[in-house]
Protein backbone atom coordinates (compact mmCIF):
# COMPACT_ATOMS: atom_id res chain seq x y z
CA UNK A 1 0.00 0.00 0.00
CA UNK A 2 3.05 2.30 0.23
CA UNK A 3 2.58 4.25 -2.96
CA UNK A 4 3.89 7.71 -2.05
CA UNK A 5 7.30 9.00 -3.02
CA UNK A 6 8.43 9.59 0.61
CA UNK A 7 9.55 13.02 -0.53
CA UNK A 8 8.19 16.46 0.11
CA UNK A 9 9.01 18.53 -2.95
CA UNK A 10 7.40 21.90 -3.56
CA UNK A 11 7.41 23.62 -6.96
CA UNK A 12 6.51 27.29 -6.85
CA UNK A 13 5.62 28.55 -10.32
CA UNK A 14 6.44 32.25 -10.45
CA UNK A 15 4.47 34.67 -12.63
CA UNK A 16 6.18 38.06 -12.89
CA UNK A 17 3.71 40.93 -12.80
CA UNK A 18 4.80 44.25 -14.29
CA UNK A 19 1.56 46.15 -13.65
CA UNK A 20 -1.84 45.76 -12.04
CA UNK A 21 -4.85 47.59 -13.47
CA UNK A 22 -8.56 47.83 -12.91
CA UNK A 23 -10.64 46.35 -15.73
CA UNK A 24 -13.74 44.47 -16.76
CA UNK A 25 -12.36 41.00 -16.21
CA UNK A 26 -9.90 39.65 -13.69
CA UNK A 27 -7.16 38.12 -15.82
CA UNK A 28 -3.43 37.84 -16.34
CA UNK A 29 -1.94 38.54 -19.74
CA UNK A 30 1.62 39.43 -20.75
CA UNK A 31 2.59 40.14 -17.17
CA UNK A 32 -0.28 42.54 -16.63
CA UNK A 33 -2.84 41.65 -13.98
CA UNK A 34 -6.26 43.13 -14.56
CA UNK A 35 -8.76 43.16 -11.69
CA UNK A 36 -12.52 43.47 -11.80
CA UNK A 37 -12.61 45.56 -8.63
CA UNK A 38 -16.39 45.27 -8.13
CA UNK A 39 -16.31 41.50 -8.36
CA UNK A 40 -13.48 41.27 -5.83
CA UNK A 41 -15.18 43.72 -3.45
CA UNK A 42 -18.39 41.71 -3.67
CA UNK A 43 -16.52 38.49 -2.88
CA UNK A 44 -14.85 40.00 0.18
CA UNK A 45 -17.87 41.92 1.48
CA UNK A 46 -19.85 38.72 2.00
CA UNK A 47 -18.26 38.32 5.46
CA UNK A 48 -20.82 39.42 8.13
CA UNK A 49 -17.99 40.60 10.43
CA UNK A 50 -17.12 43.35 7.93
CA UNK A 51 -19.42 46.26 7.09
CA UNK A 52 -17.71 47.12 3.82
CA UNK A 53 -14.61 46.28 1.83
CA UNK A 54 -13.01 48.45 -0.82
CA UNK A 55 -10.13 47.61 -3.13
CA UNK A 56 -7.50 49.95 -4.58
CA UNK A 57 -4.27 49.49 -6.53
CA UNK A 58 -1.15 51.48 -5.62
CA UNK A 59 2.31 51.35 -7.15
CA UNK A 60 5.89 52.11 -6.14
CA UNK A 61 6.68 55.80 -6.60
CA UNK A 62 3.11 56.99 -6.04
CA UNK A 63 2.64 59.58 -3.32
CA UNK A 64 0.54 57.31 -1.11
CA UNK A 65 0.73 56.34 2.57
CA UNK A 66 -1.00 53.20 3.82
CA UNK A 67 -2.03 53.35 7.48
CA UNK A 68 -3.78 50.89 9.80
CA UNK A 69 -2.19 48.09 7.80
CA UNK A 70 -2.75 44.56 9.12
CA UNK A 71 -0.93 42.02 6.98
CA UNK A 72 0.52 41.50 3.50
CA UNK A 73 -0.01 38.38 1.42
CA UNK A 74 1.55 37.27 -1.85
CA UNK A 75 -1.20 36.12 -4.24
CA UNK A 76 -0.87 32.35 -4.46
CA UNK A 77 -2.97 29.34 -5.33
CA UNK A 78 -2.36 25.65 -4.81
CA UNK A 79 -2.48 23.92 -8.18
CA UNK A 80 -1.55 20.48 -6.90
CA UNK A 81 -3.09 19.34 -4.69
CA UNK A 82 -5.90 21.83 -5.36
CA UNK A 83 -8.05 23.24 -2.59
CA UNK A 84 -5.30 23.40 0.02
CA UNK A 85 -4.80 27.17 0.10
CA UNK A 86 -3.82 28.69 3.44
CA UNK A 87 -4.30 25.46 5.30
CA UNK A 88 -6.65 25.70 8.24
CA UNK A 89 -7.98 29.13 7.27
CA UNK A 90 -9.42 28.91 3.75
CA UNK A 91 -9.58 25.10 3.99
CA UNK A 92 -9.57 22.50 6.72
CA UNK A 93 -5.97 21.71 7.72
CA UNK A 94 -4.29 20.06 4.74
CA UNK A 95 -0.91 18.70 3.80
CA UNK A 96 0.95 21.59 2.20
CA UNK A 97 4.54 22.16 1.19
CA UNK A 98 4.32 19.56 -1.52
CA UNK A 99 3.10 19.60 -5.14
CA UNK A 100 2.73 22.79 -7.13
CA UNK A 101 1.83 26.33 -6.12
CA UNK A 102 1.45 29.34 -8.39
CA UNK A 103 2.55 32.76 -7.18
CA UNK A 104 2.15 36.27 -8.59
CA UNK A 105 5.52 37.98 -8.13
CA UNK A 106 5.92 41.70 -7.53
CA UNK A 107 2.43 42.00 -6.04
CA UNK A 108 1.04 41.87 -2.52
CA UNK A 109 -2.41 42.13 -1.05
CA UNK A 110 -2.40 44.40 2.01
CA UNK A 111 -5.40 44.62 4.32
CA UNK A 112 -6.13 47.78 6.24
CA UNK A 113 -8.68 47.95 9.04
CA UNK A 114 -9.93 50.69 11.32
CA UNK A 115 -9.22 49.95 14.97
CA UNK A 116 -12.24 48.99 17.06
CA UNK A 117 -13.05 49.20 20.78
CA UNK A 118 -11.73 46.32 22.83
CA UNK A 119 -8.73 45.86 20.58
CA UNK A 120 -5.13 46.09 21.81
CA UNK A 121 -3.75 49.22 20.19
CA UNK A 122 -0.40 49.63 21.81
CA UNK A 123 1.48 47.99 18.95
CA UNK A 124 -1.07 48.27 16.18
CA UNK A 125 0.23 51.36 14.37
CA UNK A 126 1.44 50.08 11.01
CA UNK A 127 2.36 52.34 8.13
CA UNK A 128 4.26 52.28 4.86
CA UNK A 129 4.87 54.83 2.12
CA UNK A 130 5.11 54.07 -1.58
CA UNK A 131 7.41 57.06 -2.26
CA UNK A 132 9.68 59.43 -0.41
CA UNK A 133 12.47 58.86 2.12
CA UNK A 134 10.60 56.28 4.22
CA UNK A 135 9.69 54.08 1.23
CA UNK A 136 13.10 52.42 1.34
CA UNK A 137 12.40 50.93 4.75
CA UNK A 138 9.52 48.58 3.95
CA UNK A 139 9.83 45.68 1.54
CA UNK A 140 6.19 46.40 0.64
CA UNK A 141 7.12 49.76 -0.90
CA UNK A 142 8.81 47.93 -3.80
CA UNK A 143 5.69 45.95 -4.68
CA UNK A 144 2.48 46.77 -6.50
CA UNK A 145 -0.05 46.69 -3.69
CA UNK A 146 -3.68 45.66 -3.92
CA UNK A 147 -5.10 47.35 -0.83
CA UNK A 148 -8.13 45.70 0.76
CA UNK A 149 -9.64 48.26 3.15
CA UNK A 150 -12.05 46.78 5.67
CA UNK A 151 -14.64 48.64 7.72
CA UNK A 152 -15.99 47.29 11.00
CA UNK A 153 -19.71 46.94 11.63
CA UNK A 154 -21.48 49.71 13.55
CA UNK A 155 -22.21 47.28 16.38
CA UNK A 156 -18.51 46.56 16.75
CA UNK A 157 -17.55 50.25 16.62
CA UNK A 158 -20.06 51.01 19.39
CA UNK A 159 -19.20 48.01 21.55
CA UNK A 160 -18.42 48.83 25.17
CA UNK A 161 -16.99 45.41 26.01
CA UNK A 162 -13.59 45.45 27.63
CA UNK A 163 -11.03 42.72 27.03
CA UNK A 164 -10.09 40.34 29.81
CA UNK A 165 -6.79 39.67 28.04
CA UNK A 166 -5.27 43.00 27.02
CA UNK A 167 -2.90 41.39 24.54
CA UNK A 168 -5.68 39.58 22.73
CA UNK A 169 -8.70 41.92 22.93
CA UNK A 170 -12.38 41.14 23.22
CA UNK A 171 -13.74 38.10 21.36
CA UNK A 172 -15.50 40.45 18.91
CA UNK A 173 -12.26 42.31 18.21
CA UNK A 174 -10.41 39.02 17.69
CA UNK A 175 -13.13 37.86 15.28
CA UNK A 176 -12.96 41.15 13.37
CA UNK A 177 -9.19 40.95 13.01
CA UNK A 178 -9.47 37.39 11.79
CA UNK A 179 -12.15 38.40 9.26
CA UNK A 180 -9.82 41.11 7.95
CA UNK A 181 -7.02 38.58 7.53
CA UNK A 182 -9.34 36.12 5.82
CA UNK A 183 -10.34 38.86 3.38
CA UNK A 184 -6.67 39.29 2.51
CA UNK A 185 -6.16 35.57 2.01
CA UNK A 186 -9.29 35.28 -0.15
CA UNK A 187 -8.16 38.20 -2.29
CA UNK A 188 -4.72 36.61 -2.66
CA UNK A 189 -6.20 33.33 -3.85
CA UNK A 190 -8.71 35.12 -6.11
CA UNK A 191 -5.93 37.05 -7.86
CA UNK A 192 -3.74 33.96 -8.24
CA UNK A 193 -6.61 32.07 -9.88
CA UNK A 194 -5.65 34.06 -13.00
CA UNK A 195 -2.59 31.81 -13.36
CA UNK A 196 -4.52 28.55 -13.65
CA UNK A 197 -3.78 26.78 -16.91
CA UNK A 198 -0.84 29.09 -17.63
CA UNK A 199 2.90 28.40 -17.78
CA UNK A 200 4.94 30.18 -15.12
CA UNK A 201 7.93 32.39 -16.02
CA UNK A 202 10.08 30.10 -13.88
CA UNK A 203 9.73 27.33 -11.32
CA UNK A 204 11.54 27.33 -7.97
CA UNK A 205 11.89 23.83 -6.56
CA UNK A 206 12.24 23.28 -2.83
CA UNK A 207 13.56 19.83 -2.02
CA UNK A 208 15.14 18.98 1.34
CA UNK A 209 16.61 15.72 0.02
CA UNK A 210 19.90 14.81 1.72
CA UNK A 211 22.76 16.87 0.35
CA UNK A 212 24.35 15.08 -2.64
CA UNK A 213 27.71 16.49 -1.52
CA UNK A 214 29.15 14.93 1.63
CA UNK A 215 30.88 16.89 4.34
CA UNK A 216 29.10 20.23 3.93
CA UNK A 217 28.39 22.10 7.17
CA UNK A 218 25.05 20.85 8.51
CA UNK A 219 22.82 23.79 9.43
CA UNK A 220 19.49 23.87 11.26
CA UNK A 221 17.36 27.01 11.42
CA UNK A 222 15.71 27.67 14.77
CA UNK A 223 12.75 29.90 14.04
CA UNK A 224 11.25 31.86 16.90
CA UNK A 225 7.62 32.50 16.08
CA UNK A 226 5.83 35.64 17.14
CA UNK A 227 2.10 34.99 17.01
CA UNK A 228 1.03 33.46 13.74
CA UNK A 229 -1.73 31.13 12.75
CA UNK A 230 -0.18 27.70 12.17
CA UNK A 231 -2.63 25.66 10.10
CA UNK A 232 -5.37 27.99 11.30
CA UNK A 233 -4.69 27.88 15.03
CA UNK A 234 -2.68 30.43 16.95
CA UNK A 235 0.62 28.59 17.18
CA UNK A 236 0.80 26.67 20.47
CA UNK A 237 2.50 28.60 23.22
CA UNK A 238 3.20 31.56 21.00
CA UNK A 239 3.99 34.80 22.73
CA UNK A 240 1.62 36.57 25.00
CA UNK A 241 -1.54 34.76 23.99
CA UNK A 242 -0.51 31.18 24.36
CA UNK A 243 -0.29 30.58 28.09
CA UNK A 244 2.00 27.70 28.93
CA UNK A 245 4.81 27.35 26.41
CA UNK A 246 4.78 24.22 24.31
CA UNK A 247 7.91 22.36 23.41
CA UNK A 248 9.68 23.41 20.22
CA UNK A 249 8.80 21.36 17.18
CA UNK A 250 10.69 20.38 14.05
CA UNK A 251 8.84 21.38 10.89
CA UNK A 252 9.43 20.98 7.19
CA UNK A 253 10.41 24.35 5.71
CA UNK A 254 8.15 23.78 2.69
CA UNK A 255 5.08 23.93 4.92
CA UNK A 256 6.11 27.37 6.11
CA UNK A 257 6.63 28.63 2.56
CA UNK A 258 3.36 27.15 1.35
CA UNK A 259 0.68 28.90 3.39
CA UNK A 260 0.69 26.90 6.63
CA UNK A 261 1.83 29.98 8.51
CA UNK A 262 -0.24 33.18 8.37
CA UNK A 263 0.20 36.42 10.31
CA UNK A 264 -2.16 36.12 13.27
CA UNK A 265 -1.61 39.12 15.49
CA UNK A 266 -0.90 42.83 15.29
CA UNK A 267 2.61 42.80 16.70
CA UNK A 268 4.81 45.88 16.35
CA UNK A 269 4.76 46.71 12.65
CA UNK A 270 8.53 46.52 12.09
CA UNK A 271 8.64 42.95 13.41
CA UNK A 272 5.15 41.80 12.46
CA UNK A 273 5.44 38.33 10.92
CA UNK A 274 3.75 39.22 7.65
CA UNK A 275 2.36 36.32 5.67
CA UNK A 276 4.27 37.72 2.67
CA UNK A 277 7.60 37.56 4.48
CA UNK A 278 6.87 33.98 5.58
CA UNK A 279 5.85 32.91 2.04
CA UNK A 280 9.16 34.40 0.87
CA UNK A 281 11.07 33.51 4.04
CA UNK A 282 14.55 34.97 3.47
CA UNK A 283 16.46 32.58 5.73
CA UNK A 284 14.74 29.49 4.35
CA UNK A 285 15.13 30.74 0.75
CA UNK A 286 18.83 31.42 1.27
CA UNK A 287 19.48 28.08 2.97
CA UNK A 288 17.69 26.26 0.15
CA UNK A 289 19.69 28.20 -2.45
CA UNK A 290 22.93 26.94 -0.89
CA UNK A 291 21.73 23.44 0.05
CA UNK A 292 24.11 20.91 -1.51
CA UNK A 293 26.49 23.68 -2.60
CA UNK A 294 28.14 25.00 0.55
CA UNK A 295 25.47 24.19 3.14
CA UNK A 296 23.73 21.00 4.20
CA UNK A 297 20.31 22.35 5.22
CA UNK A 298 18.81 19.99 7.78
CA UNK A 299 15.47 21.67 8.43
CA UNK A 300 13.66 24.02 10.78
CA UNK A 301 12.80 23.97 14.49
CA UNK A 302 9.91 26.22 15.51
CA UNK A 303 9.98 27.64 19.01
CA UNK A 304 8.13 30.35 20.88
CA UNK A 305 8.87 31.48 24.41
CA UNK A 306 8.20 30.36 27.96
CA UNK A 307 6.78 32.74 30.52
CA UNK A 308 8.41 31.13 33.56
CA UNK A 309 11.97 30.15 34.31
CA UNK A 310 11.03 26.47 34.22
CA UNK A 311 9.23 26.80 30.89
CA UNK A 312 12.20 28.60 29.39
CA UNK A 313 14.65 25.97 30.59
CA UNK A 314 12.47 23.16 29.19
CA UNK A 315 12.02 24.96 25.90
CA UNK A 316 15.68 25.92 25.45
CA UNK A 317 16.96 22.45 26.30
CA UNK A 318 14.47 20.81 23.98
CA UNK A 319 15.21 23.16 21.08
CA UNK A 320 18.91 22.34 21.32
CA UNK A 321 18.10 18.62 21.57
CA UNK A 322 16.07 18.76 18.37
CA UNK A 323 18.74 20.67 16.45
CA UNK A 324 21.41 18.20 17.55
CA UNK A 325 19.13 15.28 16.73
CA UNK A 326 18.80 16.74 13.23
CA UNK A 327 22.58 16.69 12.95
CA UNK A 328 23.23 20.42 13.34
CA UNK A 329 26.84 21.53 13.35
CA UNK A 330 25.74 25.11 12.88
CA UNK A 331 22.51 26.91 13.72
CA UNK A 332 20.81 30.11 12.69
CA UNK A 333 18.50 31.52 15.36
CA UNK A 334 16.14 34.42 14.86
CA UNK A 335 14.70 36.50 17.68
CA UNK A 336 11.01 37.37 17.31
CA UNK A 337 11.17 40.66 19.24
CA UNK A 338 9.83 41.62 22.65
CA UNK A 339 10.99 40.98 26.20
CA UNK A 340 10.36 37.32 27.04
CA UNK A 341 11.36 35.99 23.61
CA UNK A 342 14.81 37.59 23.91
CA UNK A 343 15.59 35.43 26.93
CA UNK A 344 14.51 32.17 25.27
CA UNK A 345 16.42 32.90 22.05
CA UNK A 346 19.58 33.72 24.01
CA UNK A 347 19.21 30.60 26.19
CA UNK A 348 19.01 28.45 23.06
CA UNK A 349 22.14 30.14 21.69
CA UNK A 350 23.98 29.40 24.92
CA UNK A 351 22.78 25.77 25.07
CA UNK A 352 23.82 25.10 21.49
CA UNK A 353 27.25 26.70 21.84
CA UNK A 354 27.91 24.81 25.06
CA UNK A 355 26.96 21.58 23.32
CA UNK A 356 29.27 22.19 20.38
CA UNK A 357 26.92 23.72 17.82
CA UNK A 358 28.14 26.97 16.25
CA UNK A 359 25.47 29.69 16.23
CA UNK A 360 24.66 32.93 14.49
CA UNK A 361 21.65 35.01 15.50
CA UNK A 362 19.51 37.51 13.62
CA UNK A 363 18.15 40.27 15.78
CA UNK A 364 16.51 43.66 15.56
CA UNK A 365 17.88 46.34 17.88
CA UNK A 366 16.06 48.60 20.32
CA UNK A 367 18.52 51.39 21.10
CA UNK A 368 16.67 54.66 21.61
CA UNK A 369 19.03 56.75 23.70
CA UNK A 370 22.72 57.31 24.30
CA UNK A 371 23.99 54.70 26.69
CA UNK A 372 21.43 52.08 25.69
CA UNK A 373 22.88 48.96 24.15
CA UNK A 374 19.54 48.03 22.63
CA UNK A 375 19.69 44.52 24.07
CA UNK A 376 16.85 43.12 26.16
CA UNK A 377 19.00 40.19 27.21
CA UNK A 378 22.22 38.60 26.05
CA UNK A 379 24.62 35.78 26.82
CA UNK A 380 28.38 35.95 26.19
CA UNK A 381 28.02 33.07 23.72
CA UNK A 382 26.03 35.35 21.38
CA UNK A 383 29.16 36.65 19.72
CA UNK A 384 27.84 36.43 16.16
CA UNK A 385 24.75 38.55 15.57
CA UNK A 386 23.43 39.96 12.31
CA UNK A 387 21.49 43.14 12.98
CA UNK A 388 18.22 43.57 11.11
CA UNK A 389 18.05 47.25 12.07
CA UNK A 390 17.45 49.55 15.04
CA UNK A 391 13.71 50.10 15.18
CA UNK A 392 13.91 52.92 17.71
CA UNK A 393 15.57 55.20 15.17
CA UNK A 394 13.41 58.21 14.36
CA UNK A 395 12.46 58.56 10.71
CA UNK A 396 10.86 61.52 8.97
CA UNK A 397 7.65 60.94 7.08
CA UNK A 398 7.13 63.51 4.33
CA UNK A 399 3.71 64.80 3.26
CA UNK A 400 1.84 62.58 0.80
CA UNK A 401 -0.97 63.28 -1.66
CA UNK A 402 -3.14 60.40 -0.50
CA UNK A 403 -3.69 58.24 2.57
CA UNK A 404 -5.37 54.83 2.49
CA UNK A 405 -6.63 52.97 5.54
CA UNK A 406 -8.37 55.64 7.59
CA UNK A 407 -8.39 59.30 8.58
CA UNK A 408 -6.19 59.08 11.66
CA UNK A 409 -3.16 57.36 13.04
CA UNK A 410 -3.60 55.50 16.32
CA UNK A 411 -0.90 56.66 18.72
CA UNK A 412 0.64 59.46 16.68
CA UNK A 413 -1.45 62.61 16.96
CA UNK A 414 -0.54 64.05 13.59
CA UNK A 415 -2.24 64.49 10.24
CA UNK A 416 -1.56 61.14 8.56
CA UNK A 417 -1.03 62.89 5.20
CA UNK A 418 1.38 65.42 6.68
CA UNK A 419 4.98 65.44 7.79
CA UNK A 420 5.78 63.79 11.12
CA UNK A 421 8.58 62.03 12.90
CA UNK A 422 8.11 58.55 14.32
CA UNK A 423 10.22 55.55 15.27
CA UNK A 424 10.98 53.09 12.49
CA UNK A 425 9.00 50.60 14.61
CA UNK A 426 5.73 51.68 12.94
CA UNK A 427 6.93 50.86 9.41
CA UNK A 428 5.67 47.48 8.17
CA UNK A 429 8.34 44.74 8.17
CA UNK A 430 11.12 47.34 8.25
CA UNK A 431 13.40 45.46 10.65
CA UNK A 432 11.80 42.08 10.25
CA UNK A 433 13.50 39.16 11.87
CA UNK A 434 14.17 37.00 8.80
CA UNK A 435 16.76 39.43 7.44
CA UNK A 436 14.86 39.90 4.19
CA UNK A 437 15.92 43.54 3.91
CA UNK A 438 19.29 45.25 3.69
CA UNK A 439 19.00 47.46 6.77
CA UNK A 440 21.28 47.02 9.76
CA UNK A 441 22.30 48.98 12.83
CA UNK A 442 25.83 50.27 13.20
CA UNK A 443 27.64 52.14 15.91
CA UNK A 444 28.67 55.71 15.16
Partner 1 sequence: MARIVHYLNQFFGGLGGEDQAGMGPVSEPGPVGSGRGLTRFLEGEDRIVGTVIGGDNYMAQGGSRAVDEAIGLIAGFDPDVVVAGPAFGSGRYGLACGAVCKAVIEHLGVPAVTGLHPDSPGAADYRAWVPTLATAETAAGMGTALERLAHLASRLGRGEELGSAAEEGTLTKGLRRNTFEGLRGSTRAIEMLLTKMRGEPFATEWPLPRYEPAEASEPITTGAPFRLALVTEAGIVPAGNPDRLPSGWATDWMRYPIQDREGFAEGEFESVHGGIDTSFANQDPDRQVPLDAARSMEQVGRLSLHPELLSTTGNMGTLRDMTRIGAEMGRALIADGVQAVIVGST
Binding site for partner 1 (CB under 8 A): 136, 217, 219, 282-283, 285-287, 290, 294-295, 329-332, 339, 358-363, 365, 367, 369-375, 378, 380, 382-390, 393, 424, 434-444
Decide: 365 and 408 in contact? Cβ < 8 Å.
Answer: no
CA dist 211 and 199 (Å) reads 29
- Rounded to a whole number of angstroms, the minimum distance from the CB of residue 356 to partner 1 is 11
Decide: 387 and 410 in contact? Cβ < 8 Å.
Answer: no
- Rounded to a whole number of angstroms, the minimum distance from the CB of residue 207 to partner 1 is 19
CA angle 129, 133, 138 (to 5 degrees): 45
- Rounded to a whole number of angstroms, the minimum distance from the CB of residue 443 to partner 1 is 5
Closer residue to partner 1 in complex, CB, 45/211 = 211
Closer residue to partner 1 in complex, CB, 169/436 = 436
CA dist 104 and 84 (Å) reads 17
- Rounded to a whole number of angstroms, the minimum distance from the CB of residue 303 to partner 1 is 17
- Rounded to a whole number of angstroms, the minimum distance from the CB of residue 435 to partner 1 is 2
Sequence-ordered list of residues with C-beta below 8 angstroms from that of 235, at least 6 positions apart, any chain = 225, 227, 228, 229, 242, 261, 264, 302, 304
Closer residue to partner 1 in complex, CB, 147/333 = 333
- Rounded to a whole number of angstroms, the minimum distance from the CB of residue 260 to partner 1 is 20
Q: Of 149, 138, 235, 229, whose CA–CA distance to 187 is shortest? A: 149
Write down the H helix ranges in 115-192.
154-157, 171-192
Closer residue to partner 1 in complex, CB, 180/425 = 425
Closer residue to partner 1 in complex, CB, 248/435 = 435
Closer residue to partner 1 in complex, CB, 193/372 = 372
Burial 194-216 (b: 16+ CB within 10 A, else e): bbeeeebeeebebebeebeeeeb
Q: Of 5, 6, 4, 8, whose CA–CA distance to 206 is shortest? A: 8
CA dist 348 and 145 (Å) reads 38
Closer residue to partner 1 in complex, CB, 121/290 = 290
- Rounded to a whole number of angstroms, the minimum distance from the CB of residue 259 to partner 1 is 20
Amino acid sequence: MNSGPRRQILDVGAFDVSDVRAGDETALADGILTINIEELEELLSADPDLAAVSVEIIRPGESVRVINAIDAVEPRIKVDPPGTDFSGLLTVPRLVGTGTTHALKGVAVVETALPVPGEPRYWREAVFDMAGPTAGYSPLSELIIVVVSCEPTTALLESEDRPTNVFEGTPEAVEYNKAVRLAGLKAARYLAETTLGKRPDRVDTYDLAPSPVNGLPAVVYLYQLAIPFLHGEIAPGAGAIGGAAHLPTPIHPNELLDGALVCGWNAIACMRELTYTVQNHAIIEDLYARHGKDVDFRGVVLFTNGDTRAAKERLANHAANLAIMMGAEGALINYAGGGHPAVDAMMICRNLERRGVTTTMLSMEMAANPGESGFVHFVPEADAIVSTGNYEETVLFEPVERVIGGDALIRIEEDPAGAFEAPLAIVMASTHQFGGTHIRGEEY
